Structure 1
């Protein structure tokens, strides 16, 4: 089973609605109509697919640990719950936490992810999806990760600028 990651902005009203009714998480993720939102603000979404674990490693130097807030892809935030249909989990970060994350991502040197990339170490640590040292011929793992890293920085900055919360769903 593939494990894919989606990040989605949420208003404070949506964040509270999800925490009070976690059984509605799947509705929120599937809903294009701004679940629980009353101000008409459209959500923002970024699909980072299977790169989430590689990005976690490049951001923190660790598979499952790291310093907050840069460990946000695998830790932190408040647990919203599980989605039975895909066995996924979701965590949500407050607008204040998103602002801290945006600042930390912007402060991170673009060379840091490039310098942390080590295909052999990532393979040994079983960083998902596990094709780091022998990728398919048409895939440049470092290039793909760096591209997603830039998209991630931009996305989190936009979510923070809007004063929204951030949902991280891996499933």
Structure 2
């Protein structure tokens, strides 16, 4: 420490900064200052101001009011972030609900779920029932209006190496 102190690397300010960063832990603070914990302890014992500073850190760490205040600040920050992320999520849901699903059933389901969430659907279990009901209606409408399969043919092709390849051909009824 004498070497670092002589080089001007350790001062009361740097010790306070290291103790603050290490939350009063002398071993962590000494690592930050590149000295031994024993050397740091000796320097703190030699300065009344540093002793008061270290005692204040210990007092704050054990103060229930400070812990409660920290918890309240955390909860407040969490609530602020949650509100901000809800706005972003709502914008994303709007994008999903208004996108073109390009005749993809999976994308249509995503679009439906986004629209329900955007509308403010009921709870998760109720939302699941609502989604299932909506999907059942969509499935029924699809079966009523979808082209009907007339015939399925299967062609088996034998390759020179003995393997077989199957090819299915589906013929649809003409549109009415």
- Normalised-by-shorter TM-score class: under 0.3
Q: Is the radius of gyration larger for structure 1 or structure 2?
A: 2
> In proportion to residue count, which structure has more helix?
2
How high is the TM-score relative to the length of structure 1?
0.23
Q: With the length of structure 2 as denominator, give the TM-score of the two structures.
A: 0.22
Q: More strand by proportion, 1 or 2?
A: 1
